[in-house]
Amino acid sequence: MDVVVDSRESGVRCGVAVRGFALEGCSVVVDVLEFGDYLFDGLVVWEYKTVADFVSSLWDESLFNEVFNQSSVFVFSFLVVEGDFRKHFYKSYWSNRKARLKYHSVDDYVNTMLKIVDGAVRRLRTIVNVIILPTMAECLNEMLEQSRKCVEFKSYGGVVRPSREYHMNPCKAPLMSIKGVGDKLSDKIISELGLSCLSDLCDVYFDDLISIKGVNKGIGDGFWRLVYGMGYDEWLSVNDLLGVDGVGIVKGRSVHSYLLK
């Protein structure tokens, strides 16, 4: 298995990860990653946080942006958190004067913070797989074992998972949900339009899409409904209305519907 470790990772953790993964037979390189901290076989991405990192990035809201961006590019996207939240908050209470003034006891503070973390984790799980473990060794081992499961593509209980190529591009599954778009045509659309992540779908021009052999106007409309929630002709009409002061997307669609009556 090929592993890329982000060069901006913690020095100690980076060294331990490189040595540990190499001992497990992985080919490991340290390089700058655009998304996440660890990338396995170009398919499985991991963002690594200590409990302290998690809490600080939760307050400045950077955590949600980080995991959303990596999940929009990689099908297998994980967030691993190292440490014990309860211990962290007990310790931080005594060094946080504002917390001591606001909360009557350390237990009040800790329980309140744990509720906030629980809510954040549930929200994060809507976009990324979250795993919380107490030690670095357990986190790194889980990352390796879970990544191996993701890239095995074995049959489980008679259910054959899609091929490796199916997971290489996150645009493939949405495209194949459009009526008339199969495996080969979705690959052709991805190749000719240069689609690499979900956000690229919003940059597609209708004329470029239907110029691809095998893509007709019906498929183009299906694509537009997938991305914009409306057919291409309706989208054009609503777009024209958006230039009028005080007309947003909801009002524009309402006006458009009224004019068609």
User: What are the tens digits of pLDDT across the range 215-260?
Assistant: 999 999 999 888 888 888 887 876 665 554 443 433 334 433 433 4
Check: CB of residue 71 under 8 Å from CB of residue 127: yes
pLDDT reported for residue 257: 45
Domain ranges of the chain: 2-152, 166-260
pLDDT at 107 over 70: yes
pLDDT at 15 over 50: yes
Task: Report the C-alpha gap between 250 and 255 in whole angstroms.
Answer: 9
Check: CB of residue 198 under 8 Å from CB of residue 171: yes
User: What are the tens digits of pLDDT across the range 158-188?
Assistant: 665 555 555 567 788 789 889 999 888 998 9
Stated length of the chain: 261
Give the bridge partners for 138, in sequence order. Answer: none
Count of CB atoms situated within 10 Å of the CB of 239: 13
Average pLDDT of the segment spanning 134-144 = 96
Average pLDDT of the segment spanning 10-14 = 87
Distances in Å between the alpha carbon of 128 and those of 44, 71, 80, 150, 188? Answer: 12, 6, 10, 14, 28
Residue 255, both tokens: 């006006």
Distances in Å between the alpha carbon of 218 and those of 180, 181, 213? Answer: 8, 11, 13
- What single string gives the DSSP state of each residue in 32-43? --SSSSEEETTT
Task: Report the C-alpha gap between 3 and 22 in whole angstroms.
Answer: 9
CATH of 166-260, one of 2.60.40, 1.10.150, 1.10.10, 3.30.450: 1.10.150
User: What are the tens digits of pLDDT across the range 45-83?
Assistant: 999 999 999 999 988 888 898 998 898 888 799 999 999
Count of CB atoms situated within 10 Å of the CB of 118: 11
pLDDT interval class at 143 (50, 70, 90):
very high
Which architecture, in CATH terms, is 2-152? 3-Layer(aba) Sandwich (3.40)
Q: Is the sign of the CA dihedral 86, 89, 93, 99 positive or negative?
A: negative
